[in-house]
Amino acid sequence: MVTIKDISKKCGVSPATVSKALNGYDDISEETIRLVRQTASELNYTPNAAARLLKTSTSHNIGVLFVDDTMSGLTHEYFSYILNSVKEEAEKNGYDITFISQTLGKRKMSFLQHCLYRNCDGVVIASVNFASRAVHELITSDVPVITIDYAYDNVSSVISDNVEGAYELANYLLDKGHRRIAFIHGELTSVTNKRLVGFNRAMKERGLSVDPDYLIEARYHDADSVRKATARLMDLPVPPTAIMFPDDISYLGGQAELQQRGLRIPDDISVCGYDGINLAGLIQPPLTTWHQDADRIGKESVRKLIETIEHRSTCAAEQIMVSGQLVSGSSVREWDEKM
């Protein structure tokens, strides 16, 4: 490995000078700067991040906490888009990213310890069990943190507007004339609660009451559980004319159930998903869904996190709400209310 010392020897200057020349200090003459930079690239010099970190105590490395016990996260399309965007924005700003976990070899370590061990300047947290002790410990530590889709006190967060999403979807269905609208929602997390708020608000604004039979809990991303929920809905004496599903993937479970019952989409029943992943536009019929702006969510997270890292004292916690967008496929039809 070629070090700063090698350059200093070759140039006949001290290591200090080399360091300064490389880092653009202004007390080095133009000439030596040229010489040093020249030989650095000749020798194919690469700085050593670890040594630099040791001295400056900033690693230019941000941790990402994206996976919990259930192991979805990386393989969840919505989150993998966020991750991709986080990665790009981080790199654009000179930061690398490292996954944070709870086990390193045989050593068990907490998330916080892992961050300290790797000297992460900050951490992006998403898709984890926010109620867990380990996550809580990290969030309340001194390490700058940003959470995605979950709001904590005194911590910045970037949140996809779930109230808006469910509200707009419900309104879309209502506008099409549907009145018997069912909502299969995910587990009662904070995200789900927001969506319920949006859903209820839309109904209330039209003076409609929500039939409790039409509100069913299933599991996000779990086609099976959603399939069962769909079956329960369609077995009701008065089944819904439209169903809002927890997400685009689990909708496929519902779709299977509906098709098996000989119901055509959207002729016999209207449906919509949530997330707006690529897939939604590819399946038949294209799914009307709510597109969460994963790209923007990732970017904003990193932007705000870096702001927090670099101006720690002056940077106030902030909640950043990211709007989504309704993507209309052809899974919803006009409905003549004739009940």
**Binding partner selected for residue 56 from a second copy, DNA, none, CB under the kind-specific 5 to 8 Å limit:** DNA
**Binding partner selected for residue 328 from DNA, a second copy, none, CB under the kind-specific 5 to 8 Å limit:** none
Task: Please give the torsion angle defined by the CA atoms of residues 311, 122, 78 and 175, in that order, rounded to the nearest 10 degrees.
Answer: -40
> What sign does the CA torsion over 26, 32, 36, 38 have?
positive
Q: How far is the CB of 87 from a second copy (least distance, A)?
A: 6
3 token code pair: 């070090």
Q: Based on the shown chain and the rule CB under 7 A, indicate whether residue 32 belongs to the binding site for DNA.
A: yes
**Binding partner selected for residue 29 from a second copy, DNA, none, CB under the kind-specific 5 to 8 Å limit:** DNA
**Binding partner selected for residue 32 from DNA, a second copy, none, CB under the kind-specific 5 to 8 Å limit:** DNA
**Nearer to DNA by C-beta: 4 or 265?**
4
Adjacent-strand bridge partners of 156: 146
By CB under 7 A, name the one of 4, 123, 182, 265 that touches DNA: 4
Q: Based on the shown chain and the rule CB under 7 A, indicate whether residue 14 belongs to the binding site for DNA.
A: yes
Q: Which residue do the tokens 């969030």 mark?
A: 139
> Which among 338, 47, 21, 318 has a CA at the least distance from the CA of 156?
318
Residues that bind a second copy (CB under 8 A): 1, 46-51, 53-54, 59-61, 67, 71, 73-75, 77, 80-81, 83-84, 87, 91-99, 101, 103-107, 109, 113, 116-119, 223, 249, 252-253, 255-256, 259, 279, 282-284
On whether the CB atoms of residues 331 and 285 are closer than 8 A, the answer is: yes
Adjacent-strand bridge partners of 99: 64
- Give the number of other Cβ atoms within 10 Å of residue 105's Cβ: 6
With H, G, I as helix, E, B as strand and everything else as coil, classify residue 103: strand
- Rounded CA-CA distance 144/169 in Å is 35
**Binding partner selected for residue 316 from a second copy, DNA, none, CB under the kind-specific 5 to 8 Å limit:** none
Q: How far is the CB of 95 from a second copy (least distance, A)?
A: 8
Q: Find how far residue 28's CA is from the centre of its chain.
A: 45
Q: How far is the CB of 108 from DNA (least distance, A)?
A: 18
- Rounded CA-CA distance 184/245 in Å is 5
**Binding partner selected for residue 91 from DNA, a second copy, none, CB under the kind-specific 5 to 8 Å limit:** a second copy
Q: How far is the CB of 333 from a second copy (least distance, A)?
A: 18
**Binding partner selected for residue 84 from a second copy, DNA, none, CB under the kind-specific 5 to 8 Å limit:** a second copy
**Segment contacting DNA by CB under 7 A, of 11-19, 93-101, 205-213, 291-299:** 11-19
- Rounded CA-CA distance 170/44 in Å is 60
267 to 255, 258, 270, 291: CA distances (angstroms)? 13, 12, 7, 24
Residues that bind DNA in the complex, under the rule CB under 7 A: 1, 3-5, 12-17, 19-20, 22-23, 27-32, 45-48, 51-52, 54-57
